[in-house]
Amino acid sequence: MPGVIGCIVSTHIAIVRPNDHEESFCRKNYHSLNVQLICNADMQIISTDARHGRGTHDSLIWSHHPLCAYLNNLSSNEGLWLLDDSGYPLRRTVTTPILDALEGSEEEKRERLVF
């Protein structure tokens, strides 16, 4: 797909209960890290961020990643994208597949550009 430079996803990895700030890592009696992975078009993992607790939203992790700042600083006509699922909101640099987007909506325009 033109302009797609990789995929981004976050997943929860179970951990042993931490001694400090347990509330940041636990939800429903399950302790975990919210780990973000970015892979390139060759399916090679190019970035792993395992610093965040279970309660950290995927989009917040992405907003602190250096690649996010780099892509946001590129000219808007560069047309470089990361693909993800619905855990991330649509941004100029991250897109998600949207099924049945309303005709004429921003989502439908983005879907036509990427997919």
Report pLDDT digits (tens) over 76-97. Answer: 656 788 888 766 777 777 877 6
List of E strands, 15-115: 26-27, 30-40, 45-53, 81-83, 94-95
Query: Is the pTM of the predicted complex or chain greater than 0.75?
Result: no
Residue range 40-81, pLDDT digits in tens: 988 899 999 998 888 788 888 888 888 888 888 886 656 788
User: How many domains does the chain fold into?
Assistant: 1
Please calculate the CA angle 4-95-55 and round it to the nearest 5 degrees.
Answer: 120
Cα separation, 2 vs 91, in Å, equals 17
Task: Give residue 65's domain range.
Answer: 4-114
Q: 58 and 35 in contact (C-beta within 8 Å)? A: no
Question: 80 with 5: CB under 8 angstroms?
Answer: yes
Model pLDDT, residue 85:
76
**Rounded distance between C-alpha atoms, residue 51 and residue 111, angstroms:** 32
Ramachandran region, residue 12 (left: φ > 0; alpha: ψ -120 to 50; beta: rest):
beta
Name residue 26's beta-bridge partners. Answer: 31
- Provide the pLDDT confidence category of residue 30 given band limits of 50, 70 and 90: confident
